[in-house]
Chains A and B, each alone.
Chain A
Amino acid sequence: MKSFDYARASSTADARTQGTAGARLLAGGTTLLDLMKCNVERPERLVDVSHLSGMADIEVDEQRIRIGALAHMSQVADHAAIRREAPVVSESLWRAASAQIRNMATIGGNLMQRTRCTYFRDATGNAHCNKRMPGSGCAAVRGIHRNHAVLGTSDACFATYPGDLAVALVAFDAVLTIEGERTRQVKVEDFFRLPGDRPDLEYDLEAGEIITAIELPARPALRRSHYLKVRDRASYEFAAASAAVGLEVAPDGKTIKEARVALGGVATCPWRARNVEEALAGQPMEEAVFRRAALLAVQGAQPRAYNGYKVQLAPKVVARALLAVGDLA
């Protein structure tokens, strides 16, 4: 690991001043320290923000859920009002990582976890990674890419975004508050960039900026929501495919008023499936309707040699998640 300076931030303003180019903000550290050990991350300075006070509060009222960026994953997952008002948020969190990591990792940092592509992580053994070194090529194309993305891919990169929480957040229009020279609000969906020809640029976040909070607007579909994660082992594993879904049913009790659907484990970003949502709106709550609409989730998918199973799997996961919230499972 490369040597670095360690400094504690005394305030978010101090964190922004110290968090210049070459520095990294340190919160839970579960991704950052791991990648520093791999030599993928080589910061000159770590600015520890984990001791800042007042940034881990969770507020739930009739309009919205507001989560401070330093709230731990476990704290949010176990929060009674979040479990009631936004089950998909709690479920996406407790199905991610392990209990220890959820006690360390923060909500702000969780969004910024980086891909598990083994060629990206192998900084000492692999010289071809457009995400680490733009223009150097991609070893995964001819390598083992069973867990790589089929949606949102480019010629330069098809590394999967590994997170779960962000999938729930994009399905329900969550917004980030980012403090910088000016404080701005960014939809979580817009925060993540598609790889395109610059897969090294992953987020809409500049040096000197810090995520301070996440807000979710309350809505009936959020109350009736679910996160389904399918993976190679039962726990402590990244998704082969996952779905964050929610339903609002019309007063007649059988017509879908609004559906929310996003996918994880199959795309380069947390992936909102608006075409599935649109296909469901106004339709009757029936298994065949869910299954037919779910097929649209992988429209435009571009599988390669070893990840074609995700194109088969993802619609089934979406359908099963919808059947569960529709009480048809």
Chain B
Amino acid sequence: MVRKSVTLRVNGRDLTLDLDSRVTLLDALREHAGLTGTKKGCDQGQCGACTVHVDGRRVLSCLTLAMQVEDREVTTIEGLLGPDGGQHPMQAAFVTHDAFQCGYCTPGQIMSAVACIAEGHAGSDEEVREYMSGNICRCGAYPNILAALREVANNPGAQK
């Protein structure tokens, strides 16, 4: 085993963890940092449940090694909360539009949705469907996810 001390910057805090080189960012967050908001679905880059932001861009934490993102800025669903602990507008929109059933894919959907708008790819329903296709929802809440995302996209003032 190859272990190393790794310092990750997650949600604005430095976390120093002793990790095997094989540990993914996903497992580092969940198993070592106690941040279980990020979900493990397929663990092979096909479902999007593990989506987080690295340096502001959405990526799959299951296909990222923890050691790879040392010195980068990681944001998880826990980091979306406002300084007062209040919901992010996207979280509020997901509740308003009932954009989930079991909720397992939801943190990944929300992280992806926030990035989708920031990237400028939320201009139409069709564009959102294309640019959110990496987040699978087996409950089939897609119409409501789309509605939540479009509501936030159409109210730019509501976005942090």
Chain A residues near B (Cβ < 8 Å): 1, 3-6, 26, 29-30, 33-34, 37-38, 46, 48, 50-51, 74, 78, 94, 97-101, 103-104, 234-236
Please measure, in the bound complex, the distance between the C-alpha atom of A51 and the C-alpha atom of B59, giving whole angstroms: 16
Chain B residues near A (Cβ < 8 Å): 1-2, 4, 20-22, 24, 43-45, 48, 51, 57-60, 63-65, 67-68, 71, 112, 115-116, 119, 121, 129-135
A35 shortest CB reach to chain B, Å: 10
Other than the given A5-B2, A104-B63, 5 more pairs (CB < 8 A) read A3-B2, A4-B22, A29-B65, A33-B63, A235-B129
Closest chain B residue to A28, Cβ basis: B63
User: Contact at B59–A26, with CB atoms within 8 Å?
Assistant: no
Please measure, in the bound complex, the distance between the C-alpha atom of A51 and the C-alpha atom of B115, giving whole angstroms: 22
Closest chain B residue to A75, Cβ basis: B57
Inside 8 A of B64's CB, which chain A residues have their CB?
Answer: 29, 33, 104
Please measure, in the bound complex, the distance between the C-alpha atom of A101 and the C-alpha atom of B59, giving whole angstroms: 6
User: Contact at B119–A99, with CB atoms within 8 Å?
Assistant: yes
User: Contact at A98–B63, with CB atoms within 8 Å?
Assistant: no
Inside 8 A of B131's CB, which chain A residues have their CB?
Answer: 99
User: Contact at A99–B121, with CB atoms within 8 Å?
Assistant: yes
Of B1, B60, B130, which is within 8 A of A100 by CB?
A: B60
Tell which of B1, B20, B133 has the most Cβ of chain A within 10 Å: B133
Knowing A3-B22, A33-B65, say if A104 contacts B60 (CB, 8 Å). yes
User: Contact at B134–A6, with CB atoms within 8 Å?
Assistant: no
Closest chain A residue to B131, Cβ basis: A99
A181 shortest CB reach to chain B, Å: 28
Of B20, B43, B58, B132, which is within 8 A of A37 by CB?
A: B43
User: Contact at B67–A6, with CB atoms within 8 Å?
Assistant: yes
User: Contact at B133–A98, with CB atoms within 8 Å?
Assistant: yes
User: Contact at B44–A34, with CB atoms within 8 Å?
Assistant: yes
Inside 8 A of B130's CB, which chain A residues have their CB?
Answer: 94, 234-235
Closest 3 CB pairs of A and B: A98-B134, A235-B133, A236-B133
Of A50, A99, A235, which is within 8 A of B112 by CB?
A: A99
User: Contact at B129–A6, with CB atoms within 8 Å?
Assistant: no
A87 shortest CB reach to chain B, Å: 16
A-B contact pairs, 13 of them (CB 8 A): A3-B1, A3-B21, A6-B2, A33-B65, A78-B119, A94-B130, A97-B134, A98-B133, A99-B116, A99-B121, A104-B59, A104-B63, A235-B130
User: Contact at A37–B60, with CB atoms within 8 Å?
Assistant: no
Please measure, in the bound complex, the distance between the C-alpha atom of A234 and the C-alpha atom of B43, giving whole angstroms: 23
User: Contact at A5–B133, with CB atoms within 8 Å?
Assistant: no
Please measure, in the bound complex, the distance between the C-alpha atom of A173 and the C-alpha atom of B18, giving whole angstroms: 47
Knowing A48-B68, A99-B112, say if A29 contacts B63 (CB, 8 Å). yes
User: Contact at A101–B2, with CB atoms within 8 Å?
Assistant: no
Inside 8 A of A98's CB, which chain B residues have their CB?
Answer: 48, 133-135
A318 shortest CB reach to chain B, Å: 23
Inside 8 A of A33's CB, which chain B residues have their CB?
Answer: 24, 63-65
Of A1, A26, A236, which is within 8 A of B22 by CB?
A: A1
Please measure, in the bound complex, the distance between the C-alpha atom of A1 and the C-alpha atom of B116, giving whole angstroms: 32
Please measure, in the bound complex, the distance between the C-alpha atom of A48 and the C-alpha atom of B121, giving whole angstroms: 30
Closest chain A residue to B121, Cβ basis: A99
User: Contact at A103–B59, with CB atoms within 8 Å?
Assistant: yes
Please measure, in the bound complex, the distance between the C-alpha atom of A4 and the C-alpha atom of B1, giving whole angstroms: 8
B73 shortest CB reach to chain A, Å: 14
Please measure, in the bound complex, the distance between the C-alpha atom of A51 and the C-alpha atom of B68, giving whole angstroms: 9
Inside 8 A of B20's CB, which chain A residues have their CB?
Answer: 3
Inside 8 A of B71's CB, which chain A residues have their CB?
Answer: 51
Please measure, in the bound complex, the distance between the C-alpha atom of A29 and the C-alpha atom of B1, giving whole angstroms: 20
Please measure, in the bound complex, the distance between the C-alpha atom of A50 and the C-alpha atom of B63, giving whole angstroms: 14
Please measure, in the bound complex, the distance between the C-alpha atom of A32 and the C-alpha atom of B35, giving whole angstroms: 26
Please measure, in the bound complex, the distance between the C-alpha atom of A50 and the C-alpha atom of B59, giving whole angstroms: 14
Inside 8 A of B134's CB, which chain A residues have their CB?
Answer: 97-101, 236
Please measure, in the bound complex, the distance between the C-alpha atom of A97 and the C-alpha atom of B46, giving whole angstroms: 9
Inside 8 A of A101's CB, which chain B residues have their CB?
Answer: 45, 60, 63, 134
Inside 8 A of A78's CB, which chain B residues have their CB?
Answer: 119
